[in-house]
Amino acid sequence: MANGSRPTADGILVLNKPRDVTSMEMVRLAKRVSHVKRVGHAGTLDPIATGVLPVCFGQATRLMEFMVDGRKIYRAEFTLGSATDTYDSFGAKTHSGDWSSITRTDVEALFPGFTGAVLQTPPMYSALKHEGKRLYELARAGIEVERESREVIVYEIRLMEFALPKLVIEVECGRGFYMRTFAHDVGLALGCYAHLTELQRRKAGAFTIENTLAPDAFEAAADEEAWRELLLPPDAALQALESLVLDSAAERHLRNGQTVTLPASSTYAKHLDTRRAYTSDGKFLAIVRFNRAESTWQPERVFNLSEPSRYAP
């Protein structure tokens, strides 16, 4: 690049994170391959986990919170008969129990109690902070602290495989749900203990496992800068939102951070409804929120993208 400047890119790379690497290692890989400075991931996966990891470049990093807030689908293997201090197979065994009499009915009978708005206590081995320190740092030092239970949303739980002492369970959930804690809690409820041995994130918001890219395939595209063709446009993350098309005057107002009135689009809108807004030539421009009292759309995020989006209406 001229004058030593770094290249830029705006988009989302949906990687299939391998096991035994961290989410931040995937970000560092993306930076090394692309030489783009502004890169981040949307939703941490534990080293034990594989699957959908959206990696955001440039202006797409401003959408990470929307991706983190989206629905997730996890598929996990639980091993009955022992609990560990990390709630997964990386930890030291703390308890053991007899699983031989557990039935499929026993397992599935637990699911209604874990579905809906439920309270879950985060594990000690997590990145949450207590008095400025990560919980996993305290845990490694042999310190355990009280953790406040948090409400999480679980939409559905499915038993995919029953082959004792292994269970394969799929969970559709909202933000903040810990599959390791769920494995631990299932083991306690069954009276035989359990821990997590495999985990795959199969869906994160708009992105599914079928559409992910292996990290080595991304690396292989680096030589001729073909990696740019692998990026999805930023608004790929917002497909659950309805869309609006703006005229030139409304576009100008939004770019200046001002509200706009779009009567036709407001007929069925509820207060605080969110939409994605496009210019008349198909460029993704903004996320806007409806103010029912004023019948106006207020800009939440405004973008400056040079290319029309394939997701434009």
Residue 3 — pLDDT band, cuts 50, 70, 90? very low
Q: Which CATH class is domain 2-69+207-236?
A: alpha beta
Identify the bridge partners of residue 82 per DSSP, sorted by sequence position: 96
Residue 233 and residue 216: Cα distance in Å, rounded?
Answer: 21
pLDDT digits (tens, 9 = 90+) for 92-137: 999 999 999 999 999 999 999 999 999 998 776 666 666 667 766 7
The dotted CATH code for 72-204 is: 3.30.2350.10
Residue 199 and residue 178: Cα distance in Å, rounded?
Answer: 11
23: amino acid identity, one letter: S
Task: State pTM to two decimals.
Answer: 0.91
Percentage of residues of the chain with pLDDT beyond 90: 80
**What's the 3-state SS for 132-150?**
CEEHHHHHHCCCCCCCCCE
pLDDT at 139: 62
Lowest model confidence (mean pLDDT) among 3-7, 25-29, 181-185, 237-241:
3-7
Residue 313 contacts residue 243 (beta carbons within 8 Å): yes
263 pLDDT higher than 90: no
Under CATH, what is the fold of the domain 241-302? Answer: 2.30.130
Q: Which two tokens stand for residue 269?
A: 């809108």
pLDDT at 281: 96
Long-range contacts of 133-138 (CB under 8 A, 24+ apart): none
3-state secondary structure of 250: helix
- Domain segments of the chain: what residues? 2-69+207-236, 72-204, 241-302
Burial class (CB in 10 A: 0-12, 13-18, 19+), 212: buried
**Fold match between 2-69+207-236 and 241-302?**
no
Q: Which sequence positions are flagged as catalytic?
A: 46
Report strand pairing: 49-57 vs 11-17: antiparallel
Lowest model confidence (mean pLDDT) among 20-24, 200-204, 229-233, 260-264:
260-264
Q: How confident is the prediction for the chain on average, in pLDDT?
A: 91
Residue 148 — pLDDT band, cuts 50, 70, 90? confident
pLDDT at 163: 98
Buried b (16+ CB within 10 A) or exposed e, 143-174: eeeebeeeebebeebeeeeeebeebebbbbbe
